[in-house]
Structure formats: C-alpha cells, structure tokens
Structure 1
Amino acid sequence: MKIINPNKITGPILVVLPKFIGDVINTLPALTLLSELYPNQTIFLLARPHLCELLKKTDIKNIKVIEDNRTSKLELHSLLHLTKQLRDYHFSLALLFRGSLREAILCKFAGIQHIIGYAQNLRSGLLSHSLKLNPCHHYIHRYCRLVNDTHGKPFDTYSVPKLLPQPPSSSVLNNSTLKVGLYFGGQNKGSRHYPKELARQVVILLKEQVQCHLYIFGDLSESSDNADLQQALNLSDTQITDLSGKTTLSTLIDTIAVMDLMISIDSGPMHMACAVNTPCVALVGFGTSPWSLVEPKNDNFIAAKNSSKSLIEPDIIASITPHSIVKAGRMLLNS
C-alpha cells in the first residue's frame, strides 16, 4: 500500500461517519489523529442530522459538519444529490468510517482521488487505500488504523474519546444531593433492554443504600417503558425525575456529565458517560457487537457482565443481579 504524504493533500478532507451515537464517539480519537496530521486543512464530517449536536461537543479545532440527509425512500435520488453536493467541495482525501459499499460509491462518484477504507462488502476496487479488517481490534483501534497505517504509522498511541459538556440550565440539577442517572433502555433495544422488574429492584436497592436523587433517561420511544417502571415503583417519597423524551442529544450529554454515577445498558448513554468522565456501571447482556470490541477505555468504569447460560437472547441480561449493579455503583461512588 502506497503511503499518503500529508504535504501532498492540498484540498479539504472528508470523513464519512457511522450512523450510531456510540460508534461516532469511538471515532473521536481517530479524528484527533487526523487533525494533528492536517492542522491547516479543513476536515468535513459527513454525519446524520441527529449527530450534529454531539460533534459540537468536541475540541477538535479544524472540523466542520455536513449533514447527511439521505432518506431510504428516495435512496438513489438522495445519493445523486449528495454526490453533486460533495463534488463542489473538491475533496482530496476521504476516510470511510462506515463499512458499506454505498459510501465507497458515493466518494468515487464525488471524484475524490484518495479514498481510505477497509476491504469489505465488495468495495476494494473503489478504494485507493484499502486495509484488511482485523475483527479482533477494538472499534477505536479500527478507526485509528485508517488514519495511522495509511500515513506510515506516525502515531504509537491514541487518546480516549472526550466530549466537552456545558453546565445544564435546569435548577433541578444544581442541588447538592448525589445524582444517579439510569438508562435501562426500552423494548426498542431488544436483548440489551434490562427487564422492568429487575430495574425496579435496582431503584429500590439504590434508595435503601444511597442518599441520592435518581434521573431516568431515554428517548421518546422509551417514555412508556420508563413510565411503567415508575408506576411499578409506586414510591410516595420518590426522588426520581423522568427525563425520557425531554432532552436533546446535546442536553443529554450535559446532564449525564453532572451525574455522580451513571448506570446504563451497553448503548449511547454509556459511551457518553465515559466520554465526559462520569463514573459508569454498564450492564452487559447480549449486545450488537462483542463486548471486547466496544468496551469503553475508561478507568472510572465497571462492567457488570452477564453469567447467563440461556439460549434465549433477551434473557441473557437478566442474569445480572440488581445487587451486583448497586454494589458496583457504590464502589464507584466511594472511590
């Protein structure tokens, strides 16, 4: 593979980002390396609209965002429209942090000379610099390799993902009581969702053992699941605030940042907590990727892993006991 000389890349740079929150957070170390290689170049990030708020929380100085507004209903029309839009930038280099064939076609049709990506999904012929994917590498390592290996391996290490929150405006969050965030997911999370009855037991144990105010997180589609949880608790002296469906992605990050502890399934809020250095207990059931590939590289973190022998995927996470979750949370609070 021919090594890219940064001095010969004179035009702007395009990075095609993944679609999901946790994956995008895991690209931040690679974007930092790319920014160090090209301190005087503008790095444009092609990102889905809901991710644009997240990207404003970074300290990478020379990045700008292009909203990826493609829709599945008008896929060909959307692809052609975006291709024309990208051509007007005259990009010299593109890095594909998504592994699909469609993204390689997009960059090729946009006339980008240097296209970096992994040789997968029949797209090798469209890439100028293709790497063989090592499926054992952590996702952060994978993204960093696309930058580092194609430029002659100038870096030996990478930093952990970091987001820069702003103080939340809500006065509810400004009290001195310990604040614990909870994200158990809804039915939309499938096998990653922590069952309601076990979640109820977590809340009861927390209130018995820790003087704290609890905040339940979730998107609008998870509101009914969280409402069911609160109804099942039926606590008269409750100090629980349900924020599901009431935060933007930006304010969710800001709110998680002021928590003294976050308890979350393996999902976006877990990655957010680690990126703002909020102590976090992760509930690791049957995930969308092997845990070793997505586990946050953060010292302020405990993974409550399942010990299930179940062949029924949604039941796997149920082997994580409420007692073990609260015990891990107290360890983080005490430290």
Structure 2
Amino acid sequence: MKILIVGPSWVGDMVMAQTLFQCLKQRYPESEIDVLAPDWSRPILERMPEVRKALSFPLGHGVLELKTRRKIGKSLAGQYDQAILLPNSLKSALVPFFAGIPVRTGWKGEMRYGLLNDVRILDKERYPLMIERFMALAYEPGAELVKPYPQPLLQIDPASRESALGKFGLMLDRPVLALCPGAEFGEAKRWPSEHYAKVAELKIRAGWQVWLFGSKNDHAVGEEIRARLIPGLREEAMNLAGETSLAEAIDLMSCAAAVVSNDSGLMHVAAALNRPLVAVYGSTSPQFTPPLADQVEVVRLGIECSPCFDRTCRFGHYNCLRELKPRPVVEALERLVADPVEVQ
C-alpha cells in the first residue's frame, strides 16, 4: 500500500495526525506513507518514523489556485493506492482527484461527492476526540478503533539537539522549565503573562532555568514575562520565541524537565516529546484535543461560560484564564517533577 495523506494546516493537528499514521502502519506494516503538507510542517513529519517523506504543498490556507492544484495532482499520478484527507474542505480534495488516486477517503465535508469516492459520515458522539476522527479513516466504515489509542511520539536526533543548544548558547546545568505563552488561535487561549511570570519566578528561585518558546508573534509576550522578573532572576529566563526555527524549538523542548503551555500547537509537541506537561485551558476543552501523553496535568477553571471555543471573549473579561491563578499550575508542576535538591 502506497498512501498519500493530505495533512492539516495547524501544528497541533499535524502532531495528532501521527495517530492515524500509526494505525495505518499497524494495519499495513509494509505500507509507505507520504504526507502532502505546508513546508512549515516538515520538521514535525521528519521526526515521525511512520512517514516516508513530506511532500511540499506551496499554497497557503484557504487559497484555491486551481491550476496549481491540478499541476501538483498530475505530478503525483500513478504513485498511490489510496489518499486520506484530514481537512474537510473541498479544496483539499482536488489534488488527489487530479492525481487519479483509486481510493480517496475522507469525511463528508464541503460538497466533496465525486472528488472523494470513499466518503465517510461523521458521528460526532461516537468520535468526540479529534484523534478518533483521524484514526477512523485508517479502517473500514464502522470498524471499532483499537485501544489503547496510540500516542504521538516525535524522535529526536541527538546531533541536531546539540547543534541547537550550541547555536543559542544554552546549558543543561539546571533543569529547564519550558513556557509556551502564545496561541495562534487567539487571546482566549492565552494565560496572562503575569501568571506565567509568577510561575517562572518561583521555579527560578527553586533552582530552575526558564526557556520561553513560540513564534515571532509571541516574542513580545515573552519579553513581557521577562520584564516582570526582578534583575538576577530575569537573566535566568531565555526568550527563544521567534528566534528558533520549528525544528530547533522541537529539539530544544526535548531538553525540558517540564513544560507549561496554553492549549496550542507547542502543547501537542511537548506531549509528543513525552515531557512532563501542565496544560492550561480556557475557552477550549481537553475533551476534544487533549495532550496525548502519560505525564500530563490539565488545569482549568471550567467557569459557566467555558468552553465557548471563541477566539475572543464575548464578555470581554477572559475570566476563564485571568481568574486561574498561578498556584494550581505550580502545584501541578510539583506533582509531576520535584525541584532540585540543592538550589544553586
């Protein structure tokens, strides 16, 4: 079996898609799996042993470019036995259709009859988790999913990790607390910077160092967190947000003794690296996209109006996150990982 996966457009979704790849390998051990996805996802896919190769998809999210999709499809003609589509959009079904792949599998989505010839009807009550919706596409319609569910697991090349440590002048002489204060989804997923700063302060005083991760859009909040630390502690917090590539961020995060993250793509990366993880939820729910690992504590208030899944708070108060104080997060960290015996 040669299988083409049309991959999702978000970091967290791409990490969770590894559960589908694992199911396919269990069902077809000799299968070859290629993933058509944006270039940014290559560092994730290269760390998944189930994936033979990542195929570059040059079009941005929501762009039609019918001519380009046809060209890509024609270039893939005759190479695959099946295509599995993870996005539910009509556009995502065009490349496999133009490629003439014999079996084209996906959920019903946006008017895709004809483009898909193995159309599945989603039962949201049967498959409440996103990974279940991914995994179900590896099997015949109605088949029971095999439990326990697989968990994403990214593989790290030690040489690549050492290179990243050297590039940024980072040392592992003290345990590393990784903080991920950003979220591309919007403000309703971002735990306040003052709360992150308090967690950073307490752990630095206990003998840790802090590395802040995120995209260029998160660099400012990283600086805000550092600015809230007094001199002497501030120097123990390194703001890597926007400074690293995604590949470097993954390799460096694998060094963390613990991670605190919003519900974001980096939260799923941390889980797939099997790092002890405290996941902070506000407007979203761990009942749909939980971090998939064993060493995880989810912290949320669960106030009356959450989860709302809105990008911005309809009431303007963001109390689901603002009223979630640092203490529960610190206590969750302490349950996962002990502080160093000797504070340097």
Give the TM-score of the pair, scaled to structure 2. Answer: 0.85
- The 8 Å contact of residues 48 and 68 in structure 1, kept in 2 or not, is answered as yes
Instruction: Find 2:201's aligned residue among 198, 204, 211.
Output: 204
Instruction: Find 1:305's aligned residue among 300, 322, 325.
Output: 300
Does structure 1 residue 217 correspond to structure 2 residue 180?
no
1:83 and 1:187 map into 2 onto residues whose CA distance is 30
For 1:262, give the aligned amino acid: V
Does structure 1 residue 331 correspond to structure 2 residue 306?
no
For 2:84, give the aligned amino acid: L
Taking the TM superposition and a 5 Å limit, the aligned residue runs for 1:1-335 are: 12-60=2-50, 63-71=52-60, 75-87=65-77, 89-136=78-125, 137-150=128-141, 155=146, 157-167=148-158, 168-169=161-162, 170-171=165-166, 172-185=169-182, 189-208=186-205, 210-238=206-234, 239-287=236-284, 290-309=285-304, 311-312=315-316, 314-334=318-338
In the alignment, structure 2 segments of 5+ residues that lack a partner are: 306-314, 340-344
In structure 2, relative to structure 1, the CA distance for the partners of 1:14 and 1:240 (3 Å cut) is: same
- The 8 Å contact of residues 148 and 155 in structure 1, kept in 2 or not, is answered as no
2:193 and 2:64 map into 1 onto residues whose CA distance is 38
Report which of the two has the higher share of helix.
1
1:156 and 1:331 map into 2 onto residues whose CA distance is 27
Deviation at 1:205? 2.9
Identity among equivalent positions (%) equals 24
1:33-82 CA-to-partner distances (Å, cap 9, x unmatched) read 2123333343221011000111111122x622111111466723322322
In structure 2, relative to structure 1, the CA distance for the partners of 1:237 and 1:161 (3 Å cut) is: closer
Deviation at 1:188? 6.8
- The 8 Å contact of residues 18 and 47 in structure 1, kept in 2 or not, is answered as yes
SS at match of 2:150: coil
SS at match of 1:285: coil
For 2:180, give the aligned amino acid: Y
In structure 2, relative to structure 1, the CA distance for the partners of 1:23 and 1:211 (3 Å cut) is: same
For 1:320, give the aligned amino acid: L
In structure 2, relative to structure 1, the CA distance for the partners of 1:314 and 1:75 (3 Å cut) is: farther
- The 8 Å contact of residues 191 and 315 in structure 1, kept in 2 or not, is answered as no
- The 8 Å contact of residues 13 and 42 in structure 1, kept in 2 or not, is answered as yes
SS at match of 2:299: strand
In structure 2, relative to structure 1, the CA distance for the partners of 1:151 and 1:81 (3 Å cut) is: farther
2:114 and 2:242 map into 1 onto residues whose CA distance is 44
For 1:213, give the aligned amino acid: Q
For 1:47, give the aligned amino acid: A
1:316 and 1:77 map into 2 onto residues whose CA distance is 45
Deviation at 1:157? 4.5
Tell me whether 48-57 or 33-42 shows the greater mean CA deviation: 33-42
Aligned residues: 320
1:105 and 1:220 map into 2 onto residues whose CA distance is 32
2:295 and 2:185 map into 1 onto residues whose CA distance is 28
Give the TM-score of the pair, scaled to structure 1. Answer: 0.87
In structure 2, relative to structure 1, the CA distance for the partners of 1:58 and 1:73 (3 Å cut) is: closer
For 2:218, give the aligned amino acid: E
Tell me whether 118-127 or 249-258 shows the greater mean CA deviation: 118-127
The root-mean-square deviation of aligned C-alpha atoms, in Å, is 2.4
Tell me whether 252-261 or 150-159 shows the greater mean CA deviation: 150-159
Tell me whether 96-105 or 171-180 shows the greater mean CA deviation: 171-180
SS at match of 2:17: helix
In structure 2, relative to structure 1, the CA distance for the partners of 1:104 and 1:313 (3 Å cut) is: farther
- The 8 Å contact of residues 22 and 271 in structure 1, kept in 2 or not, is answered as yes
For 2:115, give the aligned amino acid: L
Deviation at 1:187? 7.9
